[in-house]
């Protein structure tokens, strides 16, 4: 057991009246185990929810003017011009639109995967697979609604039901990918057991 210190009885600090310096003493085994248990719980919560929270914040940040069509176009058009110098401006704008709409689905595809992963880290949350899928889809729908709600207040953005449906569709594809992965794993296990 590493030696950890805790605050003990306060003693006088120098000759100054009223000032006290803490005296530190070693932790007992019980105190150490209690602190270690709390840290493990904190570590589990971080492993479980920090990726979800960071990704959701990134999605919501992209809902501000930072993710506007003019900003993404300003970054994408020089790239397109380098690869396709003869590409007309109208087609470059259409490519920008397709990439932006695809990004909607991909953002929520990843969010659904992260939510599923967070719920499945041991000890797993008490959900059946169907219940977990509904929970993941609900959380994704709430984040999608928040994302579109933020865009209402942005001067160069606009909320769209179609974008909300793309977001939820991306989450559904994420759940479908999880289902296919689980079916693949199950069939792989059966093949391993049979051979």
Look up residue 63 and give its DSSP letter.
T
Task: Note down pLDDT in tens along the chain; length 195 residues.
Answer: 454 544 444 444 444 455 555 555 566 777 767 777 766 667 777 878 899 999 999 999 999 888 888 888 888 888 888 888 888 888 888 888 898 899 999 999 999 999 999 988 777 777 788 899 999 999 999 999 999 999 999 888 888 999 999 999 999 999 999 999 988 888 888 777 776
pTM of the model: 0.74
Closest CA relative to residue 6, chosen from 19, 29, 18, 39: 29
Token pair of 37 as six digits: 């248990």
The whole-number pLDDT of residue 170 equals 96
> Residue 142 and residue 122: Cα distance in Å, rounded?
25
> Residue 131 and residue 137: Cα distance in Å, rounded?
10
The whole-number pLDDT of residue 19 equals 53
- Ramachandran assignment for 75, one of left (phi > 0), alpha (psi -120 to 50 degrees), beta (any other): alpha
The whole-number pLDDT of residue 111 equals 97
> Residue 171 and residue 189: Cα distance in Å, rounded?
27
Asked if 166 and 105 touch (Cβ cutoff 8 Å), the reply is yes
The whole-number pLDDT of residue 138 equals 96
The whole-number pLDDT of residue 110 equals 97
The whole-number pLDDT of residue 186 equals 85
> Residue 6 and residue 69: Cα distance in Å, rounded?
55
Asked if 173 and 116 touch (Cβ cutoff 8 Å), the reply is no
């Amino acid at each position: 057991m590493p030696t950890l210190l805790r605050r003990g009885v306060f003693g006088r600090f120098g000759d100054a009246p009223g000032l006290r310096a803490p005296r530190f003493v070693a932790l007992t085994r019980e105190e150490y185990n209690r602190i270690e248990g709390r840290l493990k719980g904190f570590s589990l919560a971080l492993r479980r929810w920090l990726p979800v929270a960071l990704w959701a914040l990134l999605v919501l940040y992209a809902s501000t003017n930072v993710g506007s069509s003019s900003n993404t176009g300003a970054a994408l058009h020089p790239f397109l011009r380098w690869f396709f110098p003869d590409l007309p401006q109208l087609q470059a704008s259409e490519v920008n639109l397709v990439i932006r709409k695809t990004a909607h689905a991909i953002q929520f595809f990843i969010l659904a995967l992260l939510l599923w992963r967070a719920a499945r880290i041991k000890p797993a949350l008490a959900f059946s697979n169907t219940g977990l899928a509904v929970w993941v889809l609900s959380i994704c729908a709430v984040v999608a609604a928040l994302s579109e709600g933020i865009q209402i207040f942005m001067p160069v953005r606009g909320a769209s039901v179609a974008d909300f449906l793309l977001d939820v569709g991306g989450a559904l594809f994420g759940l479908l990918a999880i289902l296919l992965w689980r079916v693949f794993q199950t069939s792989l296990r059966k093949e391993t057991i049979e051979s």
